[in-house]
Structure 1
Amino acid sequence: MLRSFTFTDSWAVAAPPAAVAEVLTDLESYPRWWPQVRAVARLGPDTAWVCCRSTLPYTLDLVLDAVSRTPPVVEVAVSGDLDGFARFTLVPAGEGTRLDFRQEVSVRGALALASYVVRPVLVWNHARMMAGCRAGLAGEVGGRQAAR
């Protein structure tokens, strides 16, 4: 049994696309600035294992494979507890960047079964995850720019 989810979001960061892409493609630094990303391990030049846990008491074990690391598109294929992709499209916006986020994933097993009843809670949990991304990304990009 498979259940699909599509998530979209858009927000601005006060930095140029290249600076934003630098942070987004540095997966190993994610636990420092994205609170819901608990651990990252490099598995190869284009592959990493990522452990995520948002507000709900369950942890996702994911493998991310780079599809594109070059702006305007930063994208990974996702496998493990979720299957699909996550993509950031970086659009220049004045002196900053608008990030258009899109994630399409499928879940199977117990999570897919539970999603029939608790789908709104799972969507809310993902929104909490992305709120952590928005806040942390802005801080990390700003910190790196200030250090230069």
Structure 2
Amino acid sequence: MDRTRRERWTRYRFRSVWDLDAPAARVYAALERPEEYPRWWPQIRGDGATGPGDGRSSSGALIRSALPFTLCVTAAELLRDPARGVLEVALHGDLDGWARWTVRPRVGPGGRGGPRTRALYEQEVEVRRPLMRWLALPGRPAFRLNHAVMMRAGRRGLAAHLGAGPQAV
């Protein structure tokens, strides 16, 4: 397979929607603290690599879901905008690209019920880990499923952390 074709198979674009029964400000506050993700997101483990980058905060994480390998990723903050509910980071390491959370309040059915929030997660990355690049074509369905499993667990974990139940989307 030529290089251009292989690179196409090593690029991923993900989108996940988490509907949560919690106020948008609480959801945003939890998502803006990636160093605390390991407390509620089982697949994310901190590696202790945190510190200032170019005047913005950065953090490192080890990520492992259902497949038998661990990804090492560093996230450097690109945007933190509480007024718009947006958090964006640049990702480097075994994955290279960006990830963004957009947090918005939602009105419940008929305008009743407690506060509800929709958190949209978007990610565009290229896989840099050699084994995953080599397995790009045959492993793609498993890699996408692995990501979906991880995101479902993250939604459940955040809902429990916030004391709210996740809504299926």
TM-score after normalising by structure 1: 0.89
Q: Determine if the alignment matches structure 1 residue 17 to structure 2 residue 24.
A: yes
Which of 28, 38, 43 matches 1:31?
Answer: 38
Q: Output the CA distance in 1 between the equivalents of 2:30 and 2:40.
A: 10
1:107 pairs with 113, 127, 130, which one? 127
RMSD: 1.5
Number of residue equivalences: 143
Post-superposition CA distance 1:18-65 (Å, at most 9, x none): 111111111221111000012242521410010010000000000001
Choose the corresponding residue for 2:99, options 86, 89, 114: 86
Shift of 1:92: 1.1
Change (3 A) 1:42 1:129: same
Gaps of 5+ in 2: 108-114, 165-169
Q: Secondary structure at the match of 1:69?
A: strand
Q: 2:71 aligns with which of 60, 66, 71?
A: 60
Structure 2 equivalent of residue 139 of structure 1: 160
Residue type of the alignment partner of 2:20? V
> Taking every aligned residue pair, what percent have the same amino acid on both sides?
41
Equivalent residue letter for 1:6: R
Counterpart in the other structure of 2:111: none
The secondary structure found in structure 2 opposite 1:58 is coil
**What one-letter code is carried by the residue in structure 2 that aligns with 1:99?**
A
Letter of the 1:86 counterpart: A
Aligned residue identity for 2:44: V
- Take 2:163 and 2:81, find their aligned partners in 1: how far apart are those partners? 20
Q: How does the TM-score come out when normalised to structure 2?
A: 0.79
- The residue type paired with residue 102 of structure 2 is T
Residue in 1 that maps onto 2:80: 69
Moved more, 110-119 or 77-86: 110-119
Question: Hey, what's the Cα distance between the residues in 2 that align with 1:120 and 1:110?
Answer: 15
> Which structure is larger by alpha-carbon Rg, 1 or 2?
2
Tell me which amino acid in the other structure corresponds to 2:151. M
3-state SS, counterpart of residue 163 of structure 2: helix
Gaps of 5+ in 1: 144-148
